[in-house]
């Protein structure tokens, strides 16, 4: 079996579409997100559904041809690792000055074409999200860049990572620091089986918005 073949689907994929696992000294299955741990590895499609299935069907033992210990919540462990990686990189982006905080600054960054993507806390109100979504749509309509939006973290998680309080909306600005964060957000979002807020879907309800709302 190709070393980049998912042990669940038996299909080959690119490394970023898979998560590598190895066996630790205690025979426990260990996720290797950086793909640099020693020893023979196996690969699983990079979403929780497939990892849970691999654990439930004892596919790790089959892949390693040995009795292994699968942590009882391996899927949750991987989610936590991906989440911490994304939040850690978000904190580095803040130190690099690549973050805009607060609805007003986020909207300004979006309209100015400076935002690479937007983060909404899970507690964000529908109205707050809608106003920023309108700015995203208007920017594209005027020929500016499309800006994806993710809702992956709580207000407490965003506040801790970004050194603020009550962080509900944030924009990660374009640049090298922003791209590094985006890579991890994409990985976490894919793992959780979701998709970022899609501008095509927003456009479908464009007629419900009043043109005047594009101006504050």
CATH number for the domain spanning 169: value is 3.30.1330.30
Q: Could you tell me if 20 and 85 lie in one domain?
A: no
1 within some domain: no
pTM across the whole model: 0.87
| Domain boundary residue, one of 72, 89, 111 | 72
- Rounded to the nearest 5 degrees, what angle is found at the Cα of 207, between the Cα atoms of 203 and 211? 100
Task: Please tell me the distance from the alpha carbon of residue 4 to that of residue 57, in angstroms, as a whole number.
Answer: 20
Give the up-direction half-sphere exposure of residue 147: CA atoms within 13 A in the CB hemisphere.
Answer: 33
Closest C-alpha among 154, 163, 192, 100 to residue 184: 192
Task: Please tell me the distance from the alpha carbon of residue 179 to that of residue 1, in angstroms, as a whole number.
Answer: 33
Select the more confidently predicted residue: 27 or 196.
27
Q: Could you tell me if 118 and 148 lie in one domain?
A: yes
Mean pLDDT along residues 165-181: 96
Q: Which helix (H) or strand (E) holds 44?
A: strand 41-45
Q: Which residue has the tokens 């309108």?
A: 134
Q: Could you tell me if 86 and 179 lie in one domain?
A: yes
Q: What is the pLDDT of residue 198?
A: 58
Closest C-alpha among 51, 23, 18 to residue 37: 23
Closest C-alpha among 101, 9, 93 to residue 53: 9
Pull the structure tokens for residue 41: 């590895």
The burial of 43, by beta-carbon neighbours within 10 Å (0-12 exposed, 13-18 middle, 19 or more buried), is given as buried
**Domain carrying residue 40:** 15-72
Q: Could you tell me if 100 and 120 lie in one domain?
A: yes
Taking all residues of the chain, what is their mean pLDDT, rounded to a whole number? Answer: 90
Q: What is the pLDDT of residue 2?
A: 46
Q: Could you tell me if 115 and 181 lie in one domain?
A: yes
- Looking at the structure of the chain, the number of domains it has is 2
Q: What is the pLDDT of residue 181?
A: 96
Beta bridge partners of 120: 169
CATH number for the domain spanning 52: value is 3.30.1230.10
Q: What is the pLDDT of residue 194?
A: 81
At 113 the three-state DSSP class reads coil
Q: Which residue has the tokens 């699983």?
A: 44
Per residue in 89-125, pLDDT (tens digit) is 999 999 999 999 999 999 999 999 999 999 999 999 9
Per residue in 191-212, pLDDT (tens digit) is 999 866 655 544 544 444 444 3
Q: Is the pLDDT of residue 76 over 90?
A: yes
Per residue in 143-162, pLDDT (tens digit) is 999 999 999 999 999 999 99
Mean pLDDT along residues 33-59: 96
Task: Please tell me the distance from the alpha carbon of residue 193 to that of residue 112, in angstroms, as a whole number.
Answer: 31
Per residue in 77-92, pLDDT (tens digit) is 999 999 999 999 999 9
| Domain boundary residue, one of 72, 90, 112 | 72
Q: Could you tell me if 108 and 154 lie in one domain?
A: yes
10 within some domain: no
Beta bridge partners of 100: 171
Q: Could you tell me if 84 and 160 lie in one domain?
A: yes
Banded pLDDT at 215 (limits 50, 70, 90): very low
Mean pLDDT along residues 168-192: 96
Q: Could you tell me if 186 and 160 lie in one domain?
A: yes
Select the more confidently predicted residue: 205 or 164.
164
Q: Could you tell me if 54 and 100 lie in one domain?
A: no
């Amino acid at each position: 079996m190709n070393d980049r073949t998912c042990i669940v689907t038996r299909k080959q994929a690119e490394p970023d579409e898979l998560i590598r696992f190895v066996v630790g000294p205690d025979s426990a299955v260990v996720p290797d997100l950086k793909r640099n741990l020693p020893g023979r590895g196996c690969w699983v499609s990079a979403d929780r559904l497939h990892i849970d299935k691999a654990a439930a069907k004892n596919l790790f033992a089959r892949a390693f041809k040995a009795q292994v210990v699968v942590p009882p919540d391996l899927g949750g462990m991987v989610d936590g690792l991906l989440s911490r990686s994304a939040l850690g990189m978000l904190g580095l982006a803040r130190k690099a000055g690549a973050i805009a905080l607060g609805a007003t600054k986020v909207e300004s960054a979006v309209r100015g074409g400076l935002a690479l993507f937007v983060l909404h806390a899970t507690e964000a109100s529908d109205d707050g999200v809608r106003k920023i979504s309108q700015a995203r749509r208007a920017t594209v309509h005027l020929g500016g860049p499309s800006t994806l939006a993710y809702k992956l973290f709580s207000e407490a998680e965003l506040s801790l990572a970004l050194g603020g309080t009550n962080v509900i909306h944030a924009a990660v600005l374009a640049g090298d620091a922003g791209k590094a964060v985006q890579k991890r957000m994409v990985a976490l979002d894919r793992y959780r089986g979701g998709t970022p807020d899609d501008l095509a879907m927003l456009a479908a309800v464009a007629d419900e918005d009043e043109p005047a709302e594009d101006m504050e």
